[in-house]
């Protein structure tokens, strides 16, 4: 079995199954808090997610430990692996599944074209957020989970210079001109996704609880501030 799939199974087990053999949560509220991270391309979304989970592990409360990250790779695995996909769906009654589908239908609108892959993606993100203890990086998370009150929604921005620098660390051989095009294309695609399916402006600060400039604020400080918001939301 692929190591990524094994890791994902462990994540799903730690986050959702162990110790929660009880009634399903109210889908309008969710079981545990969660965080969504919207970001400009190269602003450090995954770095913040990893830093946040590291900081959460220092907390005494069990609610704030054993979190996971939901990003592109996780969603791709869930969509591709039927067993993983089914392991989440078996946690819900048929009624709850139909409610989820109704939510997606209302988000997209009757007249909106609905590719199966996007519907699947939105459903996965909403499902993970409902059970909580997850940091959702991208995937229009702040829009999909807007109805769940225990979510903390963050937006990361950074200068083009620093984003190009981070991109070059990953790709190395990319020229400055190519890097700028990559940034622009990815930012445009993300904005179009949010606009097309949710009729929202990804740069609207009112979509988020906090907006952070990662050029000026270290990821550790952002993570600690997010934890304070999480604690207040969970009450």
Burial (CB < 10 A; 0-12, 13-18, 19+), residue 172, is exposed
> Is 33 within a domain?
yes
Task: Find the domain containing 73 and state its range.
Answer: 3-16+29-234
Instruction: Measure Cα distances from 181 to 111, 138, 160, 164, 175 in Å.
Output: 33, 20, 11, 10, 10
| Calpha distance 26→40 (Å, rounded) | 33
Partners of 69 in the beta sheet? 135
Q: How many domains does the chain have?
A: 1
> Is 24 within a domain?
no
Q: Residue 90: what pLDDT? A: 53
Average pLDDT for runs of 10 along the chain of length 235? 54 50 57 93 92 94 87 70 59 43 50 56 84 89 91 96 82 79 87 88 95 96 95 81
Q: Residue 122: what pLDDT? A: 82
Q: Residue 124: what pLDDT? A: 81
> Is 23 within a domain?
no
For residue 151, what is the enclosing H or E element? Answer: strand 151-157
Contact (CB, 8 A) for 152 and 38: no
CB atoms within 10 A of CB 194: 19
> Is 218 within a domain?
yes
63: CATH? 3.40.50.300
Q: Residue 165: what pLDDT? A: 86
């Amino acid at each position: 079995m692929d190591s990524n799939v094994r890791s994902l199974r462990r994540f799903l087990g730690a986050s959702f199954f162990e110790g929660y053999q009880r009634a399903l949560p109210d889908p309008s509220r969710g079981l545990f808090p969660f965080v969504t991270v919207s970001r400009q391309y190269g602003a450090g979304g995954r770095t913040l997610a990893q830093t946040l989970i590291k900081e959460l592990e220092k907390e005494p409360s069990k609610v704030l430990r054993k979190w996971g990250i939901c990003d592109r790779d996780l969603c791709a695995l869930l969509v591709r692996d039927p067993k993983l996909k089914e392991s989440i769906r078996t946690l819900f009654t048929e009624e709850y599944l139909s409610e989820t589908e109704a939510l997606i239908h209302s988000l997209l609108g009757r007249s909106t074209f609905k590719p199966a892959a996007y519907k699947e993606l939105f459903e996965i993100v909403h499902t993970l957020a409902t059970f909580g203890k997850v940091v959702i990086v991208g995937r229009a998370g702040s829009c999909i989970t807007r109805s769940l009150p225990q979510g903390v929604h963050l937006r990361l921005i950074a200068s083009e210079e620093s984003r190009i620098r981070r991109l070059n660390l990953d790709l190395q051989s990319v020229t400055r001109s190519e890097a700028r095009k990559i940034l622009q294309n990815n930012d445009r695609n993300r904005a179009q996704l949010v606009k097309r399916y949710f009729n929202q402006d990804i740069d609207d600060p009112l979509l988020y609880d906090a907006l952070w400039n990662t050029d000026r604020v270290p990821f550790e400080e952002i993570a600690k501030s997010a934890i304070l918001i999480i604690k207040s939301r969970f009450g």
